[in-house]
Structure 1
């Protein structure tokens, strides 16, 4: 075991499932993604941190052929076939009205809701930033459930947001195909930056 692996508290198998051996999947088996798996993923990732505990992520999980027929025309051409064949597709959106839940989820600051309500630009940027964090947690959660994730941003975000969130208060940021990986589901592993290219300690 490497020095890196020795300095982590989760075991080597978990490290590999979540990070080293996990890659974006481009092909899936037809094994369904169950309600139980979806619930387990949410029950895990909901605990991950965000700023002021705001939770702007909203998700629609698409499994029916009817819903996929609404989605596929808005996907980039290169993403359509794999999305059509994935047993489930999660649309992860930012809710710009997340502040309405602040009295429930951040009761330590009574003015939180009104602070966000008074500043549309701050509320929108906060929603997008924290939804981005929650999307990262969701990918790890999908892997933790023994599934492969295929996150994509190649789609018409405005059209998909309008189609699936017609209230106009949500923006879809990422679509994630998920399921059991099929044979040859992966492209070759791409390089990563080295420690000294990224990290400085002062």
Structure 2
């Protein structure tokens, strides 16, 4: 790995700092409507209309997601967009019976996975300091870092999908072992969770479940 050129690094840092200042001048917070759309009033969905989700929209969701923060810019998440009848049939083998209809009815189901070889890409993703030695020969640290940061990216993915007008329904009622055998055999990828994506049929919704109040779960130290 070539050492970064100091002048180039300094210029890049100065630009990054100015970009943040410019962003904060342009927009200092999201509107209440935007926050309602992505989190506060958003719902997990279980039924879907037949309106398709374009590949262009999936690309847009990815481009938003990939800019979310991960430790050391490791970016371990990998995404498989299951949309063909053949792919759906393969994925259905992993699901608990009550989840098969939810997945089959969705235009797209994303397998949110993580790559245990993510650290081999650090010369590209974290070029100013070679951190590969932290992971090489340390499988527990690799697995922990991949799972934590891949899960973060999965959450970014769900928020990004909502932000561009789609609905989502995450699922954990499936066999990771079956998914990994069916889609990742011989690879260094491990599945985390599934996420149905599309335009929801709201008639399947029930009332929103209770949430904790601030004082129930928050403290100061």
TM category (shorter chain) comes to over 0.9
Residue in 2 that maps onto 1:76: 96
Q: Deviations over 1:22-73 (max 9, x none)?
A: 1110001111111111011111111111111111100100110011011112
* TM-fit CA distance, 1:74: 1.1
> Is the counterpart of residue 102 in structure 1 residue 122 in structure 2?
yes
Residue in 2 that maps onto 1:85: 105
Residue in 2 that maps onto 1:200: 219
1:34 paired residue among 50, 54, 58: 54
* TM-fit CA distance, 1:168: 4.1
Contact 1:28 1:180 in 2 (8 A): yes
Residue in 1 that maps onto 2:75: 55
Residue in 1 that maps onto 2:23: none
Instruction: Number of aligned residue pairs: give it.
Output: 194
Q: Distance in 2 between matches of 1:170 and 1:123?
A: 12
Residue in 1 that maps onto 2:24: none
Contact 2:93 2:178 in 1 (8 A): no
Q: Distance in 1 between matches of 2:121 and 2:185?
A: 20
Q: Deviations over 1:112-157 (max 9, x none)?
A: 1232112111001110011111111111011011111000000010
Q: Distance in 2 between matches of 1:152 and 1:159?
A: 15
Contact 1:162 1:168 in 2 (8 A): no
Q: Distance in 1 between matches of 2:120 and 2:168?
A: 31
Contact 2:45 2:202 in 1 (8 A): no
**What TM-score results when the alignment is normalised by the length of structure 2?**
0.85
**Unmatched runs of 5 consecutive residues or more in structure 1:** 1-7
Q: Distance in 2 between matches of 1:166 and 1:23?
A: 34
- Aligned-residue Cα RMSD (Å) equals 1.2
Q: Is the partner of 1:49 in helix, strand or coil? A: coil
**What TM-score results when the alignment is normalised by the length of structure 1?**
0.92
Residue in 1 that maps onto 2:181: 162
Residue in 2 that maps onto 1:139: 158
**Unmatched runs of 5 consecutive residues or more in structure 2:** 1-27
Larger radius of gyration: 2
> Is the counterpart of residue 45 in structure 1 residue 65 in structure 2?
yes
* TM-fit CA distance, 1:76: 0.8
Contact 1:59 1:92 in 2 (8 A): yes
Alignment of 1:122-133 (within 5 A): 122-133=141-152
Contact 2:61 2:157 in 1 (8 A): yes
Q: Is the partner of 2:202 in helix, strand or coil? A: coil
